[in-house]
Amino acid sequence: MGDHCEQTMRKLSVYIDRELSDAEVRSVKAHLDDCPPCEKVFDFQAEMKRLVRKECCTDDAPARLRDWVRQLATEKPPARDREA
Amino acid sequence: MNSDFSLFERHVDALYRSALRLTRKPEDAEDLVQETYLRAYRYRNRFKPGTNEKAWLFTIMTNVFRNRLRQRPAPTEPLDQPGTDFSIYDQLRREGMPVHLMSPEEIIVERGFGDEVKHALEELPLPMRMVVVLVDVEDFSYKEVASILGIKIGTVMSRLHRGRQALQKKLWEYSGRPRARPVAVGAH
């Protein structure tokens, strides 16, 4: 593994999170385009991030909670707020 | 003024799913979200229009959650662990799986890594779990997470790094029998 690979691997998760500077993005991108093994690692880690999001986004708020919040947003505060 | 509150309403699913990861119990999650909205409602005049209302709601929720935890600590909370260098990809490569010939989706499906994500996440120590949820599930920036949790960006990054590795390690353990089906290099 060359220096470039190591540098890229160190920055990989920050790159995936879109938190690198433009210059760093360009250098990581250039390396990934040139280096298939590093690109595979990138693909996998990016997919893991998507997987976490996808799996956790299946839990929607129960209808009763949604209704309760909607009621809060209307002009009359629900009972629990008036007690407080 | 009240009509502005409808702006906050659309984040109920995001708050609920995160509350579920934090509390690990549907009834506690629902209660946490209610308390969050009550406070948001009470303090709605403090919200600066034009700023990120989702981040504002999450700041309230994590504060409420941490206060509750202080009052009655959950006995089953996993303890913070030292970081371990772990990557599923490296592990599979070491095992001899032809990862370079497979798409990430194939690897994940083949080994069932997707089945236990929520469970694995809920097993992470809270400081790491919060950061992983806020960044990976809710798509907040490092800066926003630092502000929501009142910690430094460097701390966000190190917790995220450790959290993701710990998460992969748990998924690896749950997927079972890491060495039971070795695949010879070049067999495919």
Q: So what's the ipTM on this one?
A: 0.86
Crossing angle of helices B12-23 and B53-71, in 10° steps, is 30
The pLDDT value given to residue A50: 95
Which secondary structure element, helix H or strand E, spans residue A30, and what is its range?
helix A22-34
CATH of domain B88-174: 1.10.10.10
Contact list, A49 vs chain B (CB under 8 Å): 136
- The residue of chain B with its CA nearest to that of A84 is B38
CB contact under 8 A, A72 and B5: yes
The pLDDT value given to residue A79: 56
Domain boundaries of chain B, sorted by first residue:
2-71, 88-174
To the nearest 10°, report the CA torsion of B5, B9, B10, B14. 120
Q: Quick one: CATH architecture of A3-77?
A: Orthogonal Bundle (1.10)
Q: What tokens does B45 get?
A: 């005049």
Contact list, B136 vs chain A (CB under 8 Å): 49, 52-53
Question: What string of pLDDT tens digits covers the 188 residues of chain B?
Answer: 444 788 899 999 999 999 999 999 999 999 999 999 999 999 999 999 889 999 999 999 999 999 998 888 776 767 666 667 889 999 999 988 888 889 999 989 888 888 799 999 999 999 999 999 999 999 999 999 999 999 999 999 999 999 999 999 999 998 875 444 444 544 44
| C-alpha distance from B54 to closest chain A C-alpha (Å) | 15
The predicted model scores a pTM of: 0.87
Secondary structure of residue A4 in the 3-state scheme = helix
Crossing angle of helices B153-174 and A36-56, in 10° steps, is 90
The pLDDT value given to residue B5: 81
Contact list, B141 vs chain A (CB under 8 Å): 19
The pLDDT value given to residue B1: 46
* Cβ–Cβ under 8 Å, residues A70 and B8: no
Contacts 24+ apart (CB under 8 A), A77-80: A77/B41, A80/B34, A80/B38
Q: Is any Cβ of chain B less than 8 angstroms from the Cβ of A47?
A: yes
- The span from the CA of B2 to the CA of B61, in Å, is 20
- The span from the CA of A19 to the CA of B143, in Å, is 10
Q: Is any Cβ of chain B less than 8 angstroms from the Cβ of A37?
A: yes
| C-alpha distance from A71 to closest chain B C-alpha (Å) | 10
CATH of domain B2-71: 1.10.1740.10
User: Which ranges of chain A have pLDDT less than 50?
Assistant: 81-84
| C-alpha distance from A16 to closest chain B C-alpha (Å) | 10
Q: What tokens does B150 get?
A: 């009142």
Q: Is any Cβ of chain B less than 8 angstroms from the Cβ of A82?
A: no
* Cβ–Cβ under 8 Å, residues B53 and B36: no
SS (H, E, C) A35-70: CHHHHHHHHHHHHHHHHHHHHHCCCCCCHHHHHHHH
- The span from the CA of B84 to the CA of B74, in Å, is 25
Site from B11, B22, B34 to mutate, A interface, most A CB atoms within 10 angstroms: B34
